[in-house]
Amino acid sequence: MNIIEVNKDNWEHYKNQMLNLENKVKNNMVEQGIGDLFFTTGEDIIEYAYDPRHHVYVMVDDNDRVLAQTYLVGAGSHIQGDYADLPKYFTMGEDFLQYIKVKEYKNEEEFKHMCKNIYQAKLYAFKNAIKRIYNTEDYARFMEDLNREKSSETHFDERTQLRRDINKYMAEFMNKYGMSELYRQFYTVDSTFANYDEKNEAAKAYDSFIKASSVPVYDKKMENPEDYFGASVYNTIEVDTYITDPEARRNGSAKILSAIALNKTVEEFFINNDSDVLYLSITLHKDNYLSENVANFLGFKDYIDLERRATIERKAYMKRIDRANYKEYLSYLNKKLTYFYGYGNETVTDEEKDFFEMEKAAHTKEIAAEIDRRFETEEFDDDIRSFIKNIRNNFDNQKLSYKKIK
């Protein structure tokens, strides 16, 4: 296999094959009844390839046929979502606001005063967004569009156009006046929390937008939540997609490609930015434990289960890396590649080999136990159950001491 970075010089050569693989994977997921793939378009690939913050890699055979691909979205890009981004979900809720209050403000009164001021600033930004969309402050029309999108199949999720436009224009407005960080900190604050009494038409419409944009969170595992309270679009890299040919699925291909892309993207971030902290993020279909296996290989541990996109439950992972230890993290990845896949020429000690094997076994047993628990407590349709059961039973083929699921 050959690994190639796709850039502005060769994207056109690989574009059609990459789109075909996207379509092939999408159709395969639909046929198996395990959900859907959010398609990466040709325009997306071009934007990735031309922006040096992003990195795209493909794995090809000796005939230059694309068998796997991965995209990494670099920090500071509008592709991250204009405040409809993954870092936001790790900084939502009362715990985060309590953290901000204690860290940034002297007392409750000062914090509440700032809440009210920022809410008023957000209202100005919201009004500006409404004008840019409708050429006038037409809140009645906004509410009609909001209710229509809420009742649509997308349920006003991140891909909904109105939601994306409001977030984008508000973010641009707040950034213009130097309030990007305050906007991030107080993003979820509505008029009730801010104790804003003037319930005018704009405030009512904006509160409706905030409420409609809320994301159901079902479960979470974060050893230290405060590790992620500094995450934003400006210091987060997203492993956006890794896919492999379903006819020749190679879990290792996704691991190798993603690890190589992370090597380059993480290194470049710390060279080109002053930040001492970098966050890595990745979102998976909750039922796709093969993808979770890749995330674990990359060292992702902390997650939240949420409905990030309409009707599809996701597992969103994040990992914090400090400038002081990022080379250690990359060395860890590269040694795992050498040990498990023979890719690279790192020196791996016997102690490190034992650690990698224990780490792999512990994660595999953790997934098996989670599947067992879910089969006992949740209902699945036949396709999903069959898909997960095959993954679960594959662990038994690895001679783990778990019973087969009937």
Q: Return all residues near 281 (Cβ < 8 A) that are at least 6 apart.
A: 86, 87, 231, 236, 237, 238, 239, 316, 317, 318, 319
Q: At 92, list the tokens.
A: 């939502």
Q: 27-31, 51-55, 104-108, 315-319 — which is least confidently predicted?
A: 27-31
Per-residue pLDDT tens digits for 208-221: 999 998 888 888 88
**Percent composition of the chain: helix, strand, coil (DSSP 3-state, to 5):** 55, 15, 30
CA distance 310 to 232: 23
CA distance 281 to 203: 33
Confidence of residue 311 (pLDDT cuts 50, 70, 90): low
CA distance 22 to 112: 48
Paired strand residues for 277: 322
Identity (one letter) of the amino acid at 325?
Answer: N
The answer to whether the beta carbons of residues 67 and 245 sit under 8 Å apart is yes
pLDDT of residue 183: 93
The answer to whether the beta carbons of residues 165 and 84 sit under 8 Å apart is no
Per-residue pLDDT tens digits for 150-203: 998 878 887 788 998 999 899 999 999 999 899 999 999 999 999 998 879 999
Q: Which has the closest alpha carbon to 238: 75, 58, 59?
A: 75
The three-state secondary structure class of 195 is coil
Paired strand residues for 104: none
pLDDT, mean over the chain: 87
